[in-house]
Structure 1
Amino acid sequence: MSEMEPKVRIPQQKRSIETKNRIFVAAKDQFAKNGFHGTNTKEIASAAGVSVGSFYSYFKDKKELFMAIFREHIEEKIVRILGEHQVDPNNRKESVYRLIKAMLEAHEPYPQFHREVLAMRYSDPEVDAVFTEMDQHSLGHVVRFIEQFRDKLRIEDIHTAARIISAAVEEIICSITIFGEDGDADRLIDGLADMIHRYLFD
């Protein structure tokens, strides 16, 4: 996934690594709180406890930093967490439940930032391109998940089933992590797992 690698300076010293990390954390908070257009580099640098000049030694502007955070989220959360997702071929419903939980976990960090990315998807071609790549990665994971139960499936078109399931899971994830329906999270996940299980197998 080399096309998603952020074009930023790679720090060599411990202090540089710590500085970059502070900028990352501060920027996530600022973007989540004020949105992309409501945040400027001076505010990010101040929140990180660094000078504006130090900020520009790592990033040419706030857009490059925003995209670096987005790409890091994909690589460190979505790719890693979905890659670690385990399937139990002897327990289909539990496997479906674990799939939903893995996809939820991949989206949980910084839900407000995810909301801002979602909003920018429809106005910024660069954000949309990376978002589409993220969707394709998640879709591919769901396809591979379904294929492991090929001889037990009720449905025949695996790719279409994966698109339907991905859309349903994404909707519930948004309800829980972005729109704050935490009180209903367990019921939503249980209901979704039951629905997907019936769709695929019953």
Structure 2
Amino acid sequence: MRFLFLQYSMMRRRQTLTDSMDGMPRRAQSTAADKPRTPQQDRGVRTREAIIRAAMELFAEKGYLQTNSKHIAARAGVSTGSFYSYFADKKAVFLEVLQIYSEELVGKMEATLLELNRSALDRRTQMLLLIDNLVQSHDVFIRFHKELAVLALSDEELQQMIERQRSAGQAITLKYLQQMPEKLLVRNLEAAAALIYETFDVVVDRMAFAPESVDVHSLKEELADMLVRYLYP
């Protein structure tokens, strides 16, 4: 999903994704992080997974900008030097966390659509359940999402990752529509998939990240009605 909240302050926008924010000397960062290793042994794999898990927890709790490599290493129970053996800097583990989260989000969307397509529920109820599932998928990383939108403004890697997630989401939506073309009012399925995904993107983000600014129940009901009228005779 696209990440909203571009209203963060301009001062936050100017902060970079590098570990220069960590307060560590540049030389210490570069020498330790020149060649992060890919673990081959079980112990190394477990250490790397512990670092990723710790980073995920801290980004969710404190946000990206208030987390540094020392925090992540301490939460993972490893030394800072060990952290830099596996990741070049905070941005590297951030991208890893984002990739995992994006895959889980897209995977959950695909599983939900498959389950709903097999169900005997009416179309409107299916849409309501899909909306609920997508909103719940965002609950873990609310603060994470708020900062991500700002960070992506100046970071091409993040922009590319978000675009890949958008493409994957649209592809899943298209796959869902292609399973029942004869039951749909729409004729251009690719355009319909893009329109539906982008609509979910904006509305679900608003419900998940700014529920105080909207009537969530009414918005969900109207979104379900709109999509049913658009798709089905």
State whether residues 89 and 149 of structure 1, in contact with CA within 8 Å, keep that contact through their aligned partners in structure 2: no
Deviation >6 Å, runs of 4+:
none
Q: How high is the TM-score relative to the length of structure 2?
A: 0.70
Larger CA deviation: 90-99 vs 47-56: 90-99
* Aligned residues of 1:28 and 1:113 also touching (Cα < 8 A): no
In 1, Cα distance between equivalents of 2:155 and 2:205: 20
Instruction: State which of 67, 74, 88 in structure 2 corresponds to 1:46.
Output: 74
Give the one of 86, 111, 114 matched to 1:58. 86
Partner in structure 1 of residue 109 of structure 2: 82
Number of aligned residue pairs: give it: 194
1:12 and 2:32 aligned? no
Distance 1:25 1:89 in 2: 35
Q: What is the percentage of aligned positions where both structures have the same residue?
A: 29
Aligned-CA RMSD value: 2.8
TM-score, scaled relative to structure 1: 0.79
Q: Give 1:11 shift.
A: 5.6
Q: 1:113 to 1:89 in 2, by over 3 A?
A: same
Give the aligned partner of residue 20 of structure 2.
none
Aligned match for 2:148, one of 85, 97, 117: 117
Which of the two has higher C-alpha Rg? 2
Give the Cα separation in 2 of the matches to 1:38 and 1:82: 30
2: CA distance, partners of 1:8 / 1:100: 41
2:163 equivalent in structure 1: 132
Q: Larger RCO: Structure 1 or Structure 2 (Cα < 8 Å, ≥ 6 residues apart)?
A: 2
1:94 is aligned to 2:125: yes
In structure 2, the partner of 1:67 is: 95
- The Cα of 1:52 is off from its aligned counterpart by 0.3
CA shift, 1:35, in A, is 4.1
**Alignment CA distance shift 1:11-1:95 (3 Å):** farther
* Contact in 1 for aligned 2:55/2:72 (Cα 8 Å): yes
Give the 3 Å change call, closer, same or farther, for CA 122–156 of structure 1 in structure 2. Answer: same
Q: CA deviation at 1:25?
A: 3.0
- Aligned residue for 2:27? none
Q: How far apart are 1:136 and its partner, in Å?
A: 0.3
Contact 1:143 1:159 in 2 (8 A): yes
- 1:201 partnered with 2:201: no
What is the distance in 1 between the residues matched to 2:56 and 2:213? 22
Contact 1:27 1:44 in 2 (8 A): yes
Q: Deviations over 1:37-91 (max 9, x none)?
A: 443212222233321012112211111101111111122x124313323214763
Q: Partner of 2:187: helix, strand, or coil? A: coil
Task: Please tell me whether the aligned partners of residues 42 and 52 of structure 1 are also in contact (alpha carbons under 8 angstroms).
Answer: yes
2:86 counterpart SS class: coil
Residue pairs, 1:175-190, within 5 angstroms = 175-181=206-212, 184-190=215-221
| Unaligned ranges ≥5, structure 2 | 1-35
Q: Is the 8 A contact 2:186 2:192 kept in 1?
A: yes
- Check whether the contact 1:31–1:116 (CA below 8 A) recurs between aligned residues: no
The one-letter code sitting in structure 1 at the alignment partner of 2:49 is N
Matched, 1:191 2:191: no
- In 1, the alpha carbon distance for the partners of 2:95 and 2:222 equals 34
1:151 partnered with 2:182: yes
